[in-house]
Amino acid sequence: MNIRPIRTHADYEASLQEASYFFDHEPAPGTEDGDKFEILITLIESYEAKHYPIEAPDPVEAIKFRMEQSGLTAKDLVPSIGQQNRVYEVLSGKRELTLPMIRRLHRNLGIPVESLVGA
C-alpha cells in the first residue's frame, strides 16, 4: 500500500482519482483494498475540512430551508416562534431567536440546534 499525506492540490486530485475507483468497486472492509479506501477517504476528508470548510448556515436561512423542504408557511412557525408578527420579525432578521424559540424549532421542526445557534 503506497499512501502519502495530501499536502497539495495535486495530491488531493490524485487521491480523489484513486478513491473514485473504489466508489464504483467498493472493497470489503478489512481487506487491503478496504483499508486503503478507508485511509484515502480519511485523508481526503481531512484535506477538505482544512481547505474547503463548510460554514454553518445563518439561523434564519436554516429556518427558511426547512420551510421550503416541508412546504411550511409563516403561520406554521407560530407554535415554535410565537405570534405571527414575531415570526415575520425573525424571518426578516429584525428579531434574534431566543433560547426557547430555538428549543421549540428544534423539537417541532427537527432543525439542528447547531444551525439555529449560528456563529
Q: Please tell me what DSSP assigns to residue 28.
A: P
Residue 67 and residue 106 in one domain: yes
Residue 72 and residue 112 in one domain: yes
* Residue 77 within any structural domain of the chain: yes
pLDDT in tens, 53-95: 988 789 999 999 999 999 999 999 999 999 999 999 999 999 9
pLDDT at 63: 96
pLDDT at 77: 97
CATH number of the domain that residue 90 is part of: 1.10.260.40
* Residue 76 within any structural domain of the chain: yes
* Residue 23 within any structural domain of the chain: yes
pLDDT in tens, 62-73: 999 999 999 999
State the Cα–Cα distance between residues 74 and 8, nearest whole angstrom: 47
Task: Please give the residue range of the domain that contains residue 28.
Answer: 9-51
State the Cα–Cα distance between residues 106 and 101, nearest whole angstrom: 8
CB 13 within 8 A of CB 51: no
Q: Look at the chain and report how many structural domains it folds into.
A: 2
* Residue 1 within any structural domain of the chain: no
